[in-house]
A and B are shown apart, each in its own frame.
Chain A
Amino acid sequence: MRLKDKAALVTGATAGLGQSIAEAFAREGAAVLVTGRDAARGEAVVEGIRSSGGRARFRRLDVTAEEEVEAAVAATVDEWGRLDVVVNNAGYYGPASMRPLAELPVAEWDRVIQVNLRGPFLVCRAAIPAMIRQGGGAIVSIASIRAIHCSHNLPAYTASKAALIQMTKSIALDYGAQNIRANAILPGVHDTPGGQQSYTDREEYLRRIASLTPLGRIGHPSGIAYAAVFLASDEAAYITGATLVVDGGRIAGEYRPHRSGPSTRRA
């Protein structure tokens, strides 16, 4: 059990990557505050964790609301006496944000920045003092490969995720002496409910993603969960201010496979 006796707060944990992270944390021994806006789904995630013998509670949370965020951090400390790990997973983009900059409504820009940047800022701002009091902690922020390898028609999203990485590094620099580590995971394309807005024909979508990905398949949320467990655990004690790309090789370089695959003939 790699997160035994730790208490964690995971945002956006009612579905997709966040749910997978919360479940993996509980399996590794952590007590988890599952947070999100959908109480029914959140309670279902908690029920699943508890029925597998894990410890979890649900709390409704909009990460853009300062008072709600502070209350969620306080609730974690009240419930389990500590807060060791924060996972900034809640994120947003939608059909209205998928367009070039001059066509982006100002309200949509604000919405993306609010959820993807102000949210993690508020969560870290509330959590860091609690971590300092107990002698340290770990922050894991879920950014995106699009933070460092841009994509068309996503100006607000890519900017928000790039800013999240730099905020993560700032925390690493400013709170390293207090033994707080902060790292970011950069997921590639994953098979999650949030990804459903990117396609109409699922089979065609999966085939297309597979053809663009060196490892030949779309990501499974468990891969992000394992990465988060690693970065949250003491095995990563010397890792801070760093990024971990989990994308099947998508941004490592140009991928133009020959039909027959690379040659294995000897020189």
Chain B
Amino acid sequence: MLNITELQKEAWQSFETSGLPTTRDEDWKYTDLSRLQALLGDKWWQVAATETAVDVTALAIPELDAYRILFINGHFDAAGSNIPTSISFTPLASLMQEKPEKATELIQHQPQAPLNNSIIAANSALASDGACICIADNSHLDKPLYILYLNSGGSNHLRTGIQLGKHAEAEIIEQFSGNHTQAGITTVVTALRLHEGARLEHTRLQMEATKQYHLGRVEVSQQRNSSYTLHSSEVGGLLSRVDIVSQLQEPGATSHLNGLFVASGRQHIDHHTRIDHNAPHCISRENYRSVLDGRAHGVFNGKIVVAKGAVKTDSAQSNANLLLSKEAAIDTKPELEIYNDDVKCAHGVTVGQLDKNQLFYLKSRGLSGEEAKQMLTFAFADEILSKMNHKCVRRFVEKAAFAKLPNITDLEGMLG
């Protein structure tokens, strides 16, 4: 086995050989990284953070009662963290020093993985820190674990690994934010392993500063009867690409992926999701929505692969998109690959504007045209957020998402 230095060197060579993904790659057809170098320079991966101070209080979710693991500019911040004693936690940077063989497991680059790309290899080579967490068998975390990744621009490379033992239960909230005004980049991989009967509720909030690039990946591997729910909100950043790769490895595993994009201006948001039904009797549900204004561009690709032996697979996918301006665009593509007959797979896509009959109904009750539009936009997006567990997290996302849309004037009133 390679030692960690060799491994990182090899990963870097792999990145250098292929270079950044281009729009000639099928998986990157709609997401163009060619401006990355123009914005951040040839060595885009090692740009220093700006002088802007990271204001934790201003960026964090108010009133959230949770444990906290804080990273600032790609490094663990012990003083700002509050880690439960019931879990085993090591920052990746320490793990690389103290138990390099464990660290290699997490950062190892796997070229055969679905939706593999050179960014992941670069992240393997460059990851400076991240959270390495083990939650023991039968352990139930009493409060959410809030992993807050803040940056003041520059290049950040993070890798987090979380393992839930048998019948363990936890709620994890990952948030990516910054308040600088310069261009920067975040690359991040979150690897999740759920052992038998484990349950994980995972909220992922991408709220990067306005000129930040965000290239992320979530890998979930699930064993028997485990349950995974993702609430992914894409609100910030200039360009965001996140790949969600879910592997249902043993019977009875369930995966729910909920996603919401709210984009305006020239924002570009891309989620590629890939769910592999590798075992019989697994359930997957996918519900993604986008609200796009200005010249925003959204991309959704939802691929579901049902393996030969994965009989009684039950899978449903829905993607609905609301375009608020003529210049906004969405490229959406459901993909099903099914290798046996005994499955239930449904999928549906809609792209549209606000419903005229609903608008007229609201106006006939005395709402102005603008208020009626806001209310319907809000309702459309909020259907995804209503599945969140914590009201304060939901409010936080709602405020961030709708503050950027035009004419939302009575947000407090609508939130009730």
Q: Does B associate with A?
A: no
| A contacts, CB < 8 Å to B | none
| B contacts, CB < 8 Å to A | none
